[in-house]
Amino acid sequence: MPLNIATSLASTLIRGSNGIQSRATTDRPAELLQIYDIENCPYCRLVREALTELNLDVLILPCPKEGKRFRTELLERGGKAQFPYLYDPNTGVEMYESLDIVSYLFETYGSGDVPLKWRLGGLQTLGSMLASAPRLRRGMQARPGRPPEELLELYSFESSPYARLVREQLCEMEIPYIVRNCGRTLASEWLLPPLRSALRITPKSELDNRRLLLAREGRQSIPYLYDPNTDQGLFESGDILSYLDQHYRD
Residue 200 lies in a domain: no
- Kindly list the strands in the beta sheet with 33-37, ordered across the sheet, starting from the edge strand earlier in the chain: 93-95, 85-88, 33-37, 58-62, 177-181, 152-156, 224-227, 232-235
What pLDDT is attached to residue 201? 64
Residue 153 lies in a domain: yes
Total of domains in the chain? 1
Q: Residue 108 is part of which domain span?
A: 1-14+29-182+222-248
Residue 217 lies in a domain: no
Residue 45 lies in a domain: yes
Average of per-residue pLDDT across 211-230: 93
Q: Domain of 66: which CATH number?
A: 3.40.30.10
What pLDDT is attached to residue 49? 97
Residue 208 lies in a domain: no
For the chain, what is the HEC assignment? CHHHHHHHHHHHHHCCCCCCECCCCCCCCCCCEEEEECCCCHHHHHHHHHHHHCCCCEEEEECCECCCCCHHHHHHHHCCCCCCEEEECCCCEEECCHHHHHHHHHHHHCCCCCCHHHHCHHHHHHHHHHHHHHHCCCCCECCCECCCCCCEEEEECCCCHHHHHHHHHHHHCCCCEEEEECCECCHHHHCCHHHHHHCCCCCCCCCHHHHHHHHHHCCCCCCEEEECCCCEEEECHHHHHHHHHHHHEC
- pLDDT tens-digit series, residues 155-210: 999 999 999 999 999 999 999 999 999 988 765 565 566 666 666 666 677 788 99
pTM, 2 dp: 0.93
Residue 212 lies in a domain: no
- pLDDT tens-digit series, residues 93-117: 999 999 999 999 999 999 888 999 9
DSSP β-bridge partners for residue 226 = 153, 233
Share of the chain above pLDDT 70, in %: 92
